[in-house]
Structure 1
């Protein structure tokens, strides 16, 4: 539909539910509020990795609302040569938002990532093919660009963005009293130990053993040692929702 409207010569502003509807949850988790009819989760990295000039190409990297791969056939609905979209817009539909604090949580930092994509076309973004293509998890047009380094370049670009957000933007939000979201730590298992990291570089990672005090995380733990993990803003009192680790051993 977006291509059809742009082909009519209209000034089309892109707002696709899969990535720019901020009333959807950040993560597929019972403690993350939001609607879910178009996407199970929209985190800040997904917003940052959006390619607004090439909508069908996301079939190579994303899943549908049922968390399943899908096929995007642009061979009969492609943009006419020379036609482009006019702009990019995010939405926070408020029928499920119950407070200003919740609205701020849903908007930030996703709105900052959206602004980055609206203002700047990154080198890793896959250029649109006006001949029309079919995209799926198997086609791998995105992966083959930049001499096969597209994913690596995207992650490097994200690391720069994350550092700027954490060190410059987030303190401004805090000073303005904005209740921005603090991302829970990431967890992976290596050699039967839990390794914890943060999406943003300014977070202090903390852990809890059973119901004891919160302690600073410094190194990996045995699987059965840690029960709860969270991220806390450096030099601040706010922290993320806790992640609960349940060992299957």
Structure 2
């Protein structure tokens, strides 16, 4: 039996829209500014304002944090820790019942966070640097459509970028990295020097569905966070108030930074990754880089030690040997392999 199907497309013209600019200009009938504070419709919140306990709805998060600090303090806990959003309308740590108040600071450096972090520390807060443009792991490892992650704060956070983060002189990072659009930015040390309480790496997991996805985003980048948290690199400069950094300055010893990165990358690639593998951690396998020079395949990878493979057809794979570089021609496929040969990186090609 033959079945015939047909479909009919009906276009309904909106009589109220006649121009393209009308379509673009319309933004809906809901005042989004009123939706940004949904608790504003709460009778209890309105009563707080009427009773003079808070001045306006902006004070609500800090009021909540203050009340929580009382509960925490009553339980004998001396420290309240919160993200800066919930504390920013308080006058300072003295507004909270706990002995210490720790804040996770998450503003991007290129949007002024390089100075705001010091303001928080100078107020007396214990500041934990959690800057998304260096310490968030829900951003891609590299700029490529096949890499998982958001891009609102940075286009990439690879292991080397995190390693190069200077947490005790955060203006310095303007000389060694770029903003989310890949452009240079300027950071001037306008605040008095202050010590930060620590740094933390974040993996926001709303798009993570499996353990493998989580481990791919966290490892090996988390090793760079640990290195910067516990060891001050030789390339990290002391804070000098008034000093300005940008892509055009030359305060940072880039050669020393590269040397320290090379040492660290070799330790990760030749020691730590195989240990992760032994514990069934599905870390990210770096994609190799390569050129064909005079018919010879020159390939490497950012974490030396990872096995590199190449293919002329994308199906049959051969091990790449740095000591015996193969002669090739045409399109070449490349990837890295886990040490046990069961997992592979994303495939890249060169001609």
The two structures have a TM-score, normalised by structure 1, of: 0.87
Please give the alpha-carbon distance, in whole angstroms, between the structure 2 residues aligned to 1:185 and 1:2: 37
The runs of 5 or more residues in structure 1 that have no matched partner are: 143-149
Q: Which of 281, 285, 298 is the aligned partner of 1:195? A: 298
Match of 2:268 in 1: 165
Q: In structure 2, do the counterparts of structure 1 residues 124 and 227 end up closer, same or farther at CA, with 3 Å as the change threshold?
A: same
Please give the alpha-carbon distance, in whole angstroms, between the structure 1 residues aligned to 2:294 and 2:195: 49
Match of 2:247 in 1: 137
Please give the alpha-carbon distance, in whole angstroms, between the structure 2 residues aligned to 1:221 and 1:28: 30
Is contact 1:202-1:234 (8 Å) kept? no
Match of 1:238 in 2: 343
Higher relative contact order (CA 8 A, sep 6+): 1
Shift of 1:212: 3.9
Shift of 1:199: 1.6
Q: In structure 2, do the counterparts of structure 1 residues 177 and 234 end up closer, same or farther at CA, with 3 Å as the change threshold?
A: closer
Shift of 1:221: 4.7
Shift of 1:237: 2.2
Match of 2:206 in 1: 95
DSSP-derived class of the 1:158 partner = helix
Q: Which of 315, 321, 333 is the aligned partner of 1:228? A: 333
Please give the alpha-carbon distance, in whole angstroms, between the structure 1 residues aligned to 2:187 and 2:141: 24
DSSP-derived class of the 1:121 partner = coil
Please give the alpha-carbon distance, in whole angstroms, between the structure 2 residues aligned to 1:73 and 1:193: 47
Please give the alpha-carbon distance, in whole angstroms, between the structure 2 residues aligned to 1:221 and 1:69: 40
Q: In structure 2, do the counterparts of structure 1 residues 191 and 127 end up closer, same or farther at CA, with 3 Å as the change threshold?
A: farther
Greater shift, 108-117 or 63-72, is seen at: 63-72
Please give the alpha-carbon distance, in whole angstroms, between the structure 2 residues aligned to 1:221 and 1:87: 50
Is contact 2:270-2:306 (8 Å) kept? no
Shift of 1:174: 1.2
Match of 2:170 in 1: 55
Rg comparison, structure with higher value? 2
State how 1:71-86 maps to structure 2 within 5 Å. 71-74=186-189, 77-78=190-191, 80-81=192-193, 83-86=194-197
